[in-house]
Amino acid sequence: MKFTDVIKEYEWDTVQSRIYAKTARDVELALSKEAPNTDDFMALISPVAAPYLENMAALSRKYTQQRFGNTIQFYIPLYLTNSCTNHCIYCGFNYHNNIKRIILNEEQVIREIEAIKAMGNFRHILLVTGENPRDAGTDYIANAIRWVKPYFSSISIEVQPLTEADYRRLTDAGLNAVYCYQETYCKDHYKLYHPKGMKSKFEWRLDSFDRMGQAGVHKIGLGTLIGLEDWRTEAVFMAMHLRYLQKNYWQTKYSVSFPRMRPYSKQAFHPNVVMSDSELAQMIFACRIFDHDVEITLSTRESQSFRDNMTTLGVTSLSAGSKTDPGGYAVYRNELEQWTVNDNRTPSEVLQSVKAQGYDVVWKDWDLSLQ
């Protein structure tokens, strides 16, 4: 059984109704448990939990410090290409957008790495591509891993869903983690946002997490794009997905993130749902209380003030100095961004902010020599 089979047992509207029917008593019961279940998570993510945010923040901090100590991991994304065959209506890399398409070659990637290394002691890199299987598929990604391997201890990717064999091949090449966003778990509306391209195939994307687990990927990152559908319902489906993966691929580590939709230079799509800062905080706290061990990532999509406030309250990983355009660090300057960065501080400035709160920065948490 795969998660695409499990999800068929749950109607979107029914799950949503259960969330919004939760009571204050349900929230209090969930907060009293050492190991909340998915039904408890519904209460923690529900509107009625809003008055309990201070209690939730305290628990989130406690559990995070117990598992991760007073540390924050730093990573940096490297966009390799904006070439994409998908038609996602909210994305700057949409196939129809009239932008210059770039696929970085080895020389350009090395130039990007040199610029990144000049910014800070990054040892954890996230390689990002648009979805172009023909020109930037598994062969290209394997080459990119080979190019960056001498410079980084931890290599992650955020690329198109691949086959189990491809994930095994990349893991053997030095891959540490795969991050993939389902974007929305609402199957009925999924194709409205992804009308054409491989990404329009809901099951193929959702099954990719099973293929990662079967391939023995060391760490799997999942998330949902906030702005398409009701974020509370998305969160519950993601929590169910996380529990399923942990049960079936228990040797794998897991990471979650909650990217809020950001504009890009030729923005045409406006979010259907706007999530406030306090609601995003609630989502983070609820996730930490639900799962004490999962890594929680916060990218530069979020503002400086929000990221600073979350540093000690549940987050375990931050990006810093990010560019979301291929070649944005050295080769091409601010021409091809996927979305607009919100926190534009340098890595050293983010580092100082983390230290000012009594936390230490971890530049790496994995070494390729251990594989």
What DSSP string runs through 172-186? Answer: HHT--EEEEEEE---
- H or E segment at 221? strand 219-224
Burial of 106 (0-12, 13-18, 19+ CB in 10 A): exposed
CB-count exposure of residue 278 (10 Å: 0-12, 13-18, 19+): exposed
Q: What is the pLDDT of residues 308-320, one digit of tens each?
A: 999 999 999 999 9
Dig out the tokens for 21 from the structure: 């029917």
pLDDT tens per residue, range 129-169? 999 999 999 999 999 999 999 999 999 999 999 999 999 99
Rounded mean pLDDT of 115-124?
Answer: 93
Q: What pLDDT is attached to residue 324?
A: 86
H helical segments located in the chain: 3-6, 12-20, 24-31, 38-45, 53-68, 106-119, 138-148, 164-173, 187-193, 202-215, 231-248, 277-290, 304-310, 347-356
SS3 74: strand
With pLDDT > 70 as the criterion, what percentage of the chain qualifies? Answer: 94
What pLDDT is attached to residue 267?
57
User: Taking the CB of residue 92, how many other CB atoms lie within 10 A of it?
Assistant: 24
Q: What is the pLDDT of residue 371?
A: 46
Share of the chain above pLDDT 90, in %: 85
pLDDT reported for residue 365: 60
Q: What is the structure's pLDDT at 338?
A: 66
8-state DSSP, 226: B
- The candidate with the shortest Cα–Cα distance to 149, out of 371, 370, 1, 368, is 368
pLDDT for the residue 239: 98
Give residue-wise pLDDT tens across range 258-312: 999 876 555 567 889 999 999 999 999 999 999 999 999 999 999 999 999 999 9
pLDDT-based confidence at residue 370 (cuts at 50, 70, 90): very low
Secondary-structure class of domain 3-364 per CATH: alpha beta
pLDDT for 27: 98
